[in-house]
């Protein structure tokens, strides 16, 4: 595809994507705004969303298109969400949405429209690195707002086609101030932090209404196999959870794991949640084609977790063993491990913790 300054921008109707539109236009890009219809009635797919996005584009003077991808969203994002809970994993649907929708289907649509670039309002950076002789993904300047964690599965060959206009800003108030200065009506629009297709936050009800998952009683046991109580369906729980088990015990108990075949929920005390080693699969390499020797990195095992020092080793079966300097809490199957070097450069990502090694 011949390089040009034509860019397809994902427009959610929020302040981040709206300011991204302003910045790209002011930087001389030929901007086309698009809103993807993904799930009717969700927090990011409703009449107000489409109107806000279109009105911003009209005000700025760029074209806006809406595309219906609800079927693909159900196939790639919602079904993965259901499958994870059906198999005792805790998913992050934003990661699947980024992979298949924003940087998958939307990128294909961009090529159809002769756009060299796709852009979103994520807080992250892409740039060419002379040191690594390739395009890289980096953390943004926004500290806790950085979203590089949820962008782990972008194919490395796509990085040169991606623009994150907000990557150099340090906080959300700067973005809102730009919107106010440009008289954008969405300047003070609140952020949506829920799972977009579960706006009421009741994921259990969603699963029961949209899948074959239904309450199925089983035993709550400790690691010795001693029965402590009853649960009403393994999909109601995630590793690290404390509340909602309905059992009394001299010390607080937390979910440690699951025995799917026996339909048992395994619980234990706080210190049992910590691990120093684990193994992961589903590799997406960004900086290197292969890790042929132990590599010192920092790792995040959840979006909200802090980076922890670790050494990683790629095994012959194309998995990664992770050796943490300090034990980390609640390593959870279905979540992603994101590795960084030099503080902010994403080395590569791995989804789906395969197993926890002995501490």
What residue has token string 């390739």?
134
Which entry of 45, 57, 88, 196 is annotated as an active-site residue? 196
Active site residue 97: yes
Active site residue 84: no
What is the C-alpha separation between 333 and 352, in angstroms, rounded?
5
Which entry of 57, 88, 97, 115 is annotated as an active-site residue? 97
Dihedral sign of CA atoms 198, 199, 203, 207 in order = negative
User: Which runs of E-coded beta strand occur in the chain?
Assistant: 6-10, 30-37, 63-68, 117-119, 124-129, 134-139, 162-163, 218-221, 227-231, 254-259, 264-268, 274-280, 283-285, 295-300, 308-314, 320-329, 336-341, 345-351, 353-356
* 274 beta partners: 329
∠ CA 165-169-172, nearest 5°, is 100
- Neighbour tally for 229: CB within 10 Å: 15
Return the active site residues.
97, 196
């Amino acid at each position: 595809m011949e390089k040009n300054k034509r860019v397809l921008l994902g427009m959610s109707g929020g302040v981040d994507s709206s300011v991204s539109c302003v910045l790209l236009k002011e930087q001389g890009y030929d901007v086309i705004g698009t809103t993807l219809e993904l799930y009717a009635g969700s927090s990011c797919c409703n009449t107000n969303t489409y109107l806000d996005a279109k009105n911003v584009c009209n005000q700025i003077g760029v074209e806006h298109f809406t595309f219906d991808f609800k079927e693909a969203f159900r196939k790639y994002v919602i079904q993965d969400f259901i499958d994870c809970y059906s198999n005792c994993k805790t998913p992050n649907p934003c990661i699947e949405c980024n992979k298949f929708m924003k940087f998958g289907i939307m990128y294909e649509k961009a090529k159809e429209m002769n756009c060299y670039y796709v852009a979103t309002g994520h807080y992250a950076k892409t740039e060419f690195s002379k040191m690594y002789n390739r395009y890289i993904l980096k953390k943004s300047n926004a500290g806790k707002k950085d979203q590089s964690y949820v962008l782990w599965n972008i194919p490395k060959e796509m990085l040169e086609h991606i623009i994150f206009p907000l990557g150099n800003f340090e906080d959300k108030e700067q973005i809102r101030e730009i919107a106010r200065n440009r008289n954008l009506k969405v300047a003070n629009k609140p952020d949506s932090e829920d799972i977009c297709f579960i706006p009421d936050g009741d994921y259990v009800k969603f699963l029961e209404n949209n899948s074959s998952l239904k309450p199925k009683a089983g035993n709550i046991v400790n690691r010795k196999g001693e029965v402590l109580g009853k649960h009403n369906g393994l999909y109601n729980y995630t590793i690290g959870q404390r509340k909602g088990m309905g059992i009394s015990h001299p010390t607080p108990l937390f979910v440690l794991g699951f025995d799917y075949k026996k339909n048992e929920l395994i619980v234990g005390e706080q210190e049992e949640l910590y691990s120093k080693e684990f193994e992961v699969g589903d590799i997406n390499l960004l900086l290197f084609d292969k890790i042929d020797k132990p590599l010192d990195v920092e790792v995040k095992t959840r979006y909200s977790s802090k980076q922890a020092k670790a050494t990683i080793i790629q095994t012959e079966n194309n998995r990664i063993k992770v050796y943490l300097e300090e034990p980390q809490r609640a390593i959870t199957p279905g979540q992603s491990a994101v590795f960084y070097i030099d503080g902010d450069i994403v080395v590569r990502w791995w989804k789906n913790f395969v197993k926890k090694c002995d501490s």
